[in-house]
Amino acid sequence: MTKAVMSALIRPLVEPRLPDWVEPLWFMTKEQALEMAPEAEIGWFDLNEKEPMIEIAHAATGLKWLNSIYAGLDFLPLDVLHDRGVTVTNGVGINAITIAEYVVMLMLAHAKGYREVVRAQERKEWLLDSPGKRELSGERVLLLGLGAIGGLIKTRLEAFDMKVIPVRRSGGEGALRPGEWREKLGEFDWVVLAVPSTEETRHMIGAAELAAMRPNAVLVNIARGDVVKQDDLVEALKAKTIEAALLDVTDPEPLPEDHPLWELENAQITMHLSGRAQTKMFQRSADRFVENLELWHKGEAVEPQMDLQAGY
């Protein structure tokens, strides 16, 4: 029997479908997970806080496969997991649809000034003109990150007749290579960040990049807060050297109540809700896990696997 230590939150979706070679051990608390972790060959250690997950990962000394609903697992001790030979599957793509839809919503809401429309309704004021007059059609988008989420963002924005230029290592087919996009920032109306958080992407948008953007440029970040130098962004927004920033993510999270971003009219903050704006996350993750169990038992590759050295 293969022991699998898993959160009881996923139990109703997984337990009836477990094969007979899996012995499940369900935990409700961090303490229970830590106690069970050394027995785990398969672990699904998701909790709401990062620190307990780090502790549990260290304690799971016999772990062979770690699964998670989260796409970003860069906070885990990836070097330890790599040295132990652990296979890690994450939640890449689980929330891709809703995050891509969220990007479209943010862009449309900004383009049409929808926040002002909502405020006018609350005041019971009948507006005689639209507070926003931008059209997405015909505008140019620089898309940094063409993974599961970025690919869906691209097709949805193209449906609005936007010209989307992605950045990818191989280049080709209208894409830019990683070393080419900075010199072309001034050609784009929108810059959308959908990259993983790595040493390579940390603070990839700072004062120089913001200064190179058009005055009407809008930065959209649904990646991670630390891919942007937040102090530099605040200064650019205050000086209005770019038009706006639409931020589903910040650094840190939650954003402190006294942070200047809250007060800036040209910043929209959506509290990292893009991936939560749906009801199918757990079902999709459970389905993927059960399918992967069959592959694991056959000795075949489970998906999607993290590159523990690259961090994503």
Q: b or e along 211-223 (b: 16 or more beta carbons within 10 Å of the residue's beta carbon)? A: ebbbeebbbbbbb
203 falls within a domain: yes
The single-letter code of the amino acid at 186 is G
3 state DSSP class of 156: helix
* Residue 221 contacts residue 249 (beta carbons within 8 Å): yes
303 falls within a domain: no
Do 157 and 264 belong together in one domain? yes
Do 131 and 239 belong together in one domain? yes
310 falls within a domain: no
Q: Round to whole Å and give the CA distance between 174 and 91.
A: 28
260 falls within a domain: yes
* Residue 206 contacts residue 163 (beta carbons within 8 Å): no
3 state DSSP class of 248: coil
Domain ranges, residue 86:
2-94+279-298
Closest CA to 218 of 140, 129, 117, 162: 140
306 falls within a domain: no
Q: Round to whole Å and give the CA distance between 225 and 156.
A: 23
Q: What are phi and psi of 43, to 5 degrees?
A: -130, 135
Do 102 and 234 belong together in one domain? yes
Do 143 and 236 belong together in one domain? yes
Q: Round to whole Å and give the CA distance between 281 and 99.
A: 12
Do 107 and 206 belong together in one domain? yes
Do 60 and 143 belong together in one domain? no
Q: Round to whole Å and give the CA distance between 297 and 274.
A: 34
77 falls within a domain: yes
65 falls within a domain: yes
Q: What are phi and psi of 221, to 5 degrees?
A: -120, 110
Do 89 and 104 belong together in one domain? no
Q: Round to whole Å and give the CA distance between 64 and 43.
A: 8
CATH number at residue 294: 3.40.50.720
Q: How many CB atoms lie within 10 A of CB 183?
A: 10
Do 110 and 90 belong together in one domain? no
Walk along the chain (312 residues) and give the pLDDT tens digit of each residue.
999 999 999 999 999 999 999 999 999 999 999 999 999 999 999 999 999 999 999 999 999 999 999 988 989 999 999 999 999 999 999 999 999 999 999 999 999 999 999 999 999 999 999 999 999 999 999 999 999 999 999 999 999 999 999 998 877 788 999 999 999 999 999 999 999 988 899 999 999 999 999 999 999 999 999 999 999 999 999 999 999 999 999 999 999 999 999 999 999 999 999 999 999 999 999 999 999 999 999 999 999 999 999 888
Active site amino acids: 224, 253, 272
What token pair was written down for 148?
Answer: 């599961």
Do 227 and 269 belong together in one domain? yes
Do 134 and 215 belong together in one domain? yes
200 falls within a domain: yes
Q: Crossing angle for the helix pair 96-111 and 114-122, nearest 10 degrees?
A: 70
Kindly give, in sequence order, each residue whose CB lies less than 8 Å from that of residue 30, ignoring residues fewer than 6 positions away.
Answer: 47, 52, 55, 56
The single-letter code of the amino acid at 236 is A
- The pTM of this model reads 0.88
Domain count along the chain: 2
Do 73 and 103 belong together in one domain? no
* Residue 192 contacts residue 216 (beta carbons within 8 Å): no
Query: Is the sign of the CA dihedral 92, 94, 97, 98 positive or negative?
Result: negative
Do 150 and 190 belong together in one domain? yes
